[in-house]
Amino acid sequence: MNDLAHAVATAASRPPGPGWHARLDLRFVREPSRTLLAERRHTGPLRVQKALHPEGPDVCQAIVVHPPGGIVGGDLLDIGVTVGAGAHAQVTTPGAAKWYRSAGPVARATTHCSVATGAVLEWLPQEAIVFDGARAVTVARIDLEPGAWFVGWDIVALGRVAAGERFTAGTLRQSVEVRRAGALLWCESSVLDGGSRALQAGAILGGASVFGTMIVAGGALDDDLLGACRRVACPSGEGTVTRLPDVLVARYRGDSAGDARTYLALLWRVLRPALCGRAAVPPRIWST
């Protein structure tokens, strides 16, 4: 068992602590004329207040709300999303997630998404701010059926950048898997220790305080679309796009969470019409 798997297993096996334990399950289905949020079940402080259709009936948008406003040591947040055949769901958040400093307990968030044939899931949360001294584990698994598409991103700020805070202590452990019909398409695990020399290494973050990853999975992307993505200018920092079989991975590293989201959203604007025949419409909540 590698270090990340051990950390995840250890966090999962701990007895309930003082933090919030919350779960949210969402199920989207395609009716003849619209995509509908057919089921939403929550335990603890995770919920969707209302399903929206800002682009019309074909796309159902859900804004996931975490009322406490921050994640502390001992918190456990689980999200499950199921998108039925032919449905198109978009999930986002109203603001940045905040992972607070911990004196010892680990905070954990897990996400499991299942996307059926002919369905599309857009997972577009705002950034996560990992405070100096936080101890966080995030685990995500995406299961696709043949003919399904997933577009998702993860943006992380290490420390409160605007306040000049750096990530000098604590740990962030992340794992993500994307599978299609059970076969692994993409897998990545990382361990970032606050104050470590690895954060300065050119092959990792090169001293950057913000990084972002966007994954587009479900089928092959042609050379013209890849070229269009590579021509997208990054507002600041560095942006790269890599094509693998049936997966496209875009990355940002720099010092601005806003510029990270702008860069990934510009890529999304290029990709979305090609993937699902719809122009990219930024969620209104991003502007509030």
The tens digit of pLDDT for each residue in 86-122 reads 999 999 999 999 999 998 899 999 999 999 999 999 9
pLDDT tens profile 5-55: 443 344 433 434 568 899 999 999 999 999 999 999 999 999 998 899 999
pLDDT at 3 over 80: no
Could you tell me if 134 and 101 are in contact, meaning their C-beta atoms sit under 8 angstroms apart?
yes
CA neighbor of 247 nearest in space, from 181, 149, 113: 149
Confidence of residue 194 (pLDDT cuts 50, 70, 90): very high
CA neighbor of 229 nearest in space, from 250, 209, 214, 245: 250
pLDDT at 65 over 90: yes
What burial class does residue 50 get, using C-beta atoms within 10 Å of its C-beta: 0-12 exposed, 13-18 middle, 19+ buried?
Answer: exposed
Share above pLDDT 90 across residues of the chain, in percent, rounded to a whole number: 82
pLDDT tens profile 31-43: 999 999 999 999 9
How far, in Å, CA of 171 to CA of 191, rounded?
A: 7
Q: What pLDDT sits at residue 202?
A: 86
Could you tell me if 82 and 142 are in contact, meaning their C-beta atoms sit under 8 angstroms apart?
no
CA neighbor of 116 nearest in space, from 181, 24, 41, 36: 181
Q: What pLDDT sits at residue 18?
A: 66
Q: What is the separation, in whole angstroms, between the first and last Cα of the chain?
A: 44
The tokens describing 287, both together, are 């502007």
Residue burial 270-286, b: 16+ Cβ < 10 Å; e: rest = bbbeebeeeebeebeee
**Over the chain, what is the mean pLDDT?**
91
Q: What is the DSSP letter of 218?
A: S
What is the pairing mode between strands 247-254 and 238-244? antiparallel
Could you tell me if 141 and 111 are in contact, meaning their C-beta atoms sit under 8 angstroms apart?
yes
Q: What pLDDT sits at residue 14?
A: 41
Q: What pLDDT sits at residue 216?
A: 97
Q: What is the DSSP letter of 58?
A: T
How far, in Å, CA of 67 to CA of 227, rounded?
A: 41
Who has greater pLDDT, 15 or 127? 127
Q: What pLDDT sits at residue 50?
A: 86
User: Half-sphere exposure (CA, 13 Å, Cβ side) for 254?
Assistant: 18
